[in-house]
């Protein structure tokens, strides 16, 4: 049975970096932006379009999905992306050991016995400082950027899963990257997932 690690994260908490480092330590693939390319192949939509649509609600309103245009099949573009995303993630989980970042993978793989679901969070101050360092200044204040991104991510998760994004009961590990540090978070995930890299290769 394949072993999967899903990384859900607050914006700016370093979840993407953590996912890549965990995968590197374990010698397994990390699917983040790579998922976007696979979903684009399934849907025919541009990668840039999917990058936002597959993880964020159209806006930060509670009515984010109420007025989306739908085709004759009753589906919106967001719905089509969701079904393609589901197919891609389930196929990856069946094919190989891997780390999957975001895109509701924790929910889609919740019934898979050999899957570790991790949520990465940090204080707004830590995350604000980090996004400015990584992405530069913006006309929008850093704390507002954080709030808007997280709210859209939360609405997207709620709409498609009917569960609360970031709720501790939905994950096996919830780790504060600001308090623990990125490297320590990586170590904690690796050490609590596989006792040693050789076990992956042998299938133990």
Query: Residue ranges of the domains in the chain?
Result: 4-202
Is 152 in a helix, a strand, or coil? helix
Predicted local confidence at residue 43, as pLDDT: 87
| Residue carrying structure tokens 């990856």 | 92
- Relative to beta strand 173-176, strand 98-101 is unpaired
Q: What Rg, from alpha-carbon coordinates, does the chain have?
A: 17
Instruction: Calculate the average pLDDT of the chain.
Output: 85
- Give the CA-trace dihedral at 94, 97, 102, 107, to 10 degrees: 50
Which has more pLDDT, 140 or 90? 90
Does pLDDT of 115 surpass 70? Answer: yes
Is 130 in a helix, a strand, or coil? helix
| Residue carrying structure tokens 């099949």 | 73
pLDDT in tens, 8-64: 999 999 999 999 999 999 999 999 988 888 999 888 888 888 887 767 655 555 555
Query: In the predicted model, what is the mean pLDDT of residues 176-199?
Result: 83
Considering only CA atoms, which of 98, 103, 119 is closest in space to residue 177? 119
Predicted local confidence at residue 200, as pLDDT: 47
Question: Would you say 116 and 23 are in contact if contact means Cβ atoms under 8 Å apart?
Answer: no
Q: Which CATH number fits domain 4-202: 3.40.50.300, 3.40.50.720, 1.10.4190.10, 3.40.50.1980?
A: 3.40.50.300
Question: Would you say 31 and 98 are in contact if contact means Cβ atoms under 8 Å apart?
Answer: yes
114 pLDDT band, cuts 50/70/90, is confident
Most confidently predicted of 6-20, 110-124, 140-154: 6-20
How large a percentage of the chain has pLDDT more than 70?
Answer: 84
Output the furthest CA–CA distance in the chain (Å, rounded). Answer: 51
196 pLDDT band, cuts 50/70/90, is very low
- The answer to whether the Cα torsion of 175, 32, 166, 13 is positive or negative is positive
């Amino acid at each position: 049975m394949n072993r999967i690690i899903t990384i859900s994260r607050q914006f700016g908490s370093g979840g993407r970096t953590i996912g890549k480092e965990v995968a590197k330590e374990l010698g397994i693939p990390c699917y983040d932006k790579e998922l976007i390319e696979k979903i684009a192949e399934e849907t025919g939509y541009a990668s840039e379009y999917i990058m936002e649509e597959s993880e964020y609600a159209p806006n930060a309103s509670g009515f984010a999905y109420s007025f989306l245009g739908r085709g004759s099949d009753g589906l919106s573009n967001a719905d089509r992306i969701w079904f393609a995303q589901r197919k891609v993630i389930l196929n990856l989980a069946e094919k190989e050991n891997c780390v999957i970042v975001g895109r509701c993978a924790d929910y889609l793989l919740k019934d898979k016995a050999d899957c570790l679901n991790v949520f990465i969070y940090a204080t707004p101050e830590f995350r604000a400082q980090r996004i400015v360092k990584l992405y530069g200044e913006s006309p929008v204040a850093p704390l507002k950027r954080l709030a808007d991104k997280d709210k859209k991510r939360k609405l997207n998760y709620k709409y498609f899963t009917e569960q609360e994004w970031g709720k501790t009961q939905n994950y096996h590990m919830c780790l504060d990257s600001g308090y623990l540090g990125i490297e320590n978070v990586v170590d904690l995930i690796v050490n609590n997932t596989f006792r040693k890299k050789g076990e992956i290769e042998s299938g133990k």
